[in-house]
Amino acid sequence: MKKLLLIYVGIFCSVLAFGQTNFQKLTLDEACTKAKAEKKLVFVDLYTSWCAPCKMMADKVFPDVKLGAFMNERFVCVKYDTGADKDGSELAKMFNVQAYPTFLILNVDKGLENQIVGATLEPSDFMNQVEAALKASLASLGQQYENGNRDVSFLTDYLKALLTASMNEKAQEVCVALFKVLPDTEKSNREYWFIFKDQALSPVGSPFMDFLFSHFEQFTRSMGEEKVLNRIAEAFEIKLRDMIRGREPMDDLDKVAKQMAPHHFNSRERMDTYVALGKALREARKDNSEKGVEKLLELCENEFPKIDGEHLVYFYFPVTIYIANVGTEAQYKRVCKLHEYVYEHTEHNPLKIGLGNMLSGTKKNK
């Protein structure tokens, strides 16, 4: 009876293994050899031990039977921890992997056919992404591009494939090529909106966002004013936020403020505060004078309590730490008071946790 039970358990486990995506314990060389013999491609799951979305894909998505049948028919599947496996670390370096999970589709010569970045909640959604990646081979598209293909429809397809694969640097190059052959009268058409709504491709300061600003009326006619204004608001929010927290230089702050001036979106009042904060921070940093720091601190005391924690958390700490480090003892005490006030009134947990840790450290140092 025990033997029979073991047989049933073995069969059950085999069925489960067969039904799900079959990640095989092979080196990349072995996977390529096997894929060549079976006339398949190689699918590589690059993950890390600390990546929660990676674990979710392993636990919830790849066990799906329908997805497993789709994947096993087309690929030899392998997975590598980029922090522990040699093949994983080498592939991450070779293809400049910046986010996890990243999924590579390789040919049998280890050439990149396409890649998918990020997790999905539904197996069917991931299957759709893989199908799209198979249809738009980056290797083939890249070769056509290098051979001089500058047809508008080709460049559009290639650009979309690069954006899907999060290959943003190459996407910038291809988008410039597309802009050269695409008439200005067509750039604001709905079919090219994907260029302007992509933050990695079209941040404030890029030639593509500059084009949107200079052709605002045409875009509102094709896309609707609300959608265009929402995109502009998002772009300004990210740009100004990054300037304030030191991720980008303040050199273009005045130009950004001038570009923002004609546009009246819902978050405009907060963006005006960001501009004022950026200018005050820029002035204070010039000489670290008590007067400059005082102006910045007063602005923080007046405006920070009005900004929702989900927005404030991005730059609160860089600004207040700067003031505490270069200001007077009296200014430092006012920064601590501001910490206490925001801590008591914010409902945004990440900001509250950070402030709690900072206040705790302040008490220990007394």
pLDDT for 14: 43
pLDDT for 365: 56
pLDDT for 166: 84
Please state the pTM of the whole predicted model. Answer: 0.76
Q: What is the 3-state secondary structure (H, E, C) of the chain?
A: CHHHHHHHHHHHHHHHHHHCCCECCCCHHHHHHHHHHHCCEEEEEEECCCCHHHHHHHHHHCCCHHHHHHHHHHEEEEEEECCCCHHHHHHHHHCCCCCCCEEEEECCCCCEEEEEECCCCCHHHHHHHHHHHHHCCHHHHHHHHHCCCCCHHHHHHHHHHHHHCCCHHHHHHHHHHHHHHCCHHHHCCHHHHHHHHCCCCCCCCCHHHHHHHHCHHHHHHHHCHHHHHHHHHHHHHHHHHHHHCCCCCCCCHHHHHHHHCCCCCCCHHHHHHHHHHHHHHHHHHHHCCHHHHHHHHHHHHHHHHHCCHHHHCCCHHHHHHHHHHHCCHHHHHHHHHHHHHHHHHCCCHHHHHHHHHHHHHHHHCC
Q: Report pLDDT digits (tens) over 97-135.
A: 888 999 999 999 998 898 999 999 999 999 999 998 888
Q: Report pLDDT digits (tens) over 295-310.
A: 999 999 999 999 999 9
Residues of the chain with pLDDT under 70: 1-19, 361-366
Q: Report pLDDT digits (tens) over 141-151.
A: 999 999 999 99
pLDDT for 363: 56
pLDDT for 7: 45
